[in-house]
Amino acid sequence: MQANELNLPVSAERIRQGDTGEYERLFRSFYKRLCIYAEHLIGNRLDAEEIVCNLFVRIWERREQLPVRVSMESYIVSAVHHEAVNYLKHAEVEERYREKVQYQLKYLDLLNPEGADTPLTCMLEKEMCELIEKAIQTLPQQCREVFVLHMMDGLSYEEVAVKLNVTINTVRTQITRAMKKMRGALSPFYRIND
């Protein structure tokens, strides 16, 4: 590939038609810059690279529907920005939930009544947080939204109903479903009475 070819605008139309050379040129022209931009936004080099790599995979997989109206550069910079913002929102929600779970564990003395931070306690807290996060991700979208707004953001049933434009009964039903899923996910931590 000639150096002057990297300076030409990338053709979205050629990529839509499956031109691997044009796709490679897009990658070579923008990968490093997009990684730097994403890292600047999220502050984590490895996750920034993953965001950019996932974007390039999606571009190729969905090339026939590539929604480029202005230029490929504008499109991919905007897409990376959008993905970085979503990453930060997700990280913030996870951190808030992790903090809430850790607070509840300490408050309820579930793992260590003496309150000492032992390696076992730390390991169990981490494992419990991971199980909860995985269980949340498996919830259907509306159920997950209701659960996060109520349990993590602290909104009342009424506030959740207004925010999501659903009935209070829908909120109650979704919370019940989510809590059942959470209990199932946390069953290794429950004591079974003989």
Query: For residue 39, how many C-alpha atoms fall within 13 Å in the half-sphere facing its CB?
Result: 11
pLDDT of residue 39: 92
What tens digit of pLDDT does each residue of 64-91 get? 888 877 788 888 999 999 988 888 887 7
Under the banding of pLDDT at 50, 70 and 90, the label for residue 4 is: very low
Q: In terms of Cα–Cα distance, which of 87, 93, 2, 94 is closest to 52? A: 87
What tens digit of pLDDT does each residue of 98-148 get? 676 666 665 555 545 555 566 656 666 777 777 778 888 888 888 888 888
> Could you tell me if 39 and 81 are in contact, meaning their C-beta atoms sit under 8 angstroms apart?
no
- Stated pTM of the model: 0.49
